[in-house]
Amino acid sequence: SFMVVPMALVVVHGLAYVLERVRPVWLRIAIGTGLAGLCLVGMVDAGREWAVPFENYRDAVEVAHGSGIDRLITNREPGTVGFLYYDESVEVLQPTEAICTEPAPFVYFDFPVEPEELDLSCLAERGGRMVSVEQRRAPGSIDVWIVPA
């Protein structure tokens, strides 16, 4: 990345040199406008890619709503905002180990800020099933545990 500025200066200097050699002024304007348009299209296209969030909160909440269970719980304090955008009733449970003794039914989003070493086999023993929702632009997933009554 430290070469971006020097390379940009070299490219701009080269383009200026080429445009200097073009005699008709209208042709200079047309070439300059075309190059600026190409740069703008490239920036807008790159911006669209970065506008897509890494997390896939929407699909995780859709899985939860599809289960028919109203109580939604997560273990991610800062990331709860993403879940709240799709459902305002998401609760934050701290410490996460308490999920093993929570009264059913509930849907649990296992998506910690930092990966936790947590044994969730207690949810499977209670009849829960896990659905993994893949992230959009990052490796990993949000594990949605559906624990019936």
Burial (CB < 10 A; 0-12, 13-18, 19+), residue 6, is: exposed
**Residue pair 63/86 in contact by the 8 Å Cβ criterion:** no
| DSSP structural state of residue 92 | E
Tens digit of each residue's pLDDT (9 = 90 or more) over 101-149? 889 899 998 876 666 677 888 999 999 999 999 887 777 888 999 999 8
Instruction: Compute the distance between CA of residue 92 and CA of residue 83 in angstroms, rounded to an integer.
Output: 10
Strand ranges across the sheet with 129-134: 91-92, 72-74, 106-110, 141-147, 129-134
For residue 116, what pLDDT is reported?
65
pLDDT at 32: 83
Residue 52 confidence (pLDDT): 67
Q: Which two tokens stand for residue 35?
A: 């190059």
pLDDT in tens, 2-55: 888 888 899 888 888 888 888 888 888 888 889 889 888 888 877 776 666 778
Question: How far apart are alpha carbons 47 and 25 in whole angstroms?
Answer: 33
* pLDDT given at position 112: 66
- Residue entry with tokens 């086999």: 121
SS3 per residue for 126-147: CCCEEEEEECCCCCCEEEEEEE
pLDDT value, residue 63: 94
Per residue in 67-113, pLDDT (tens digit) is 999 999 988 766 567 777 788 888 888 777 788 888 989 999 887 66
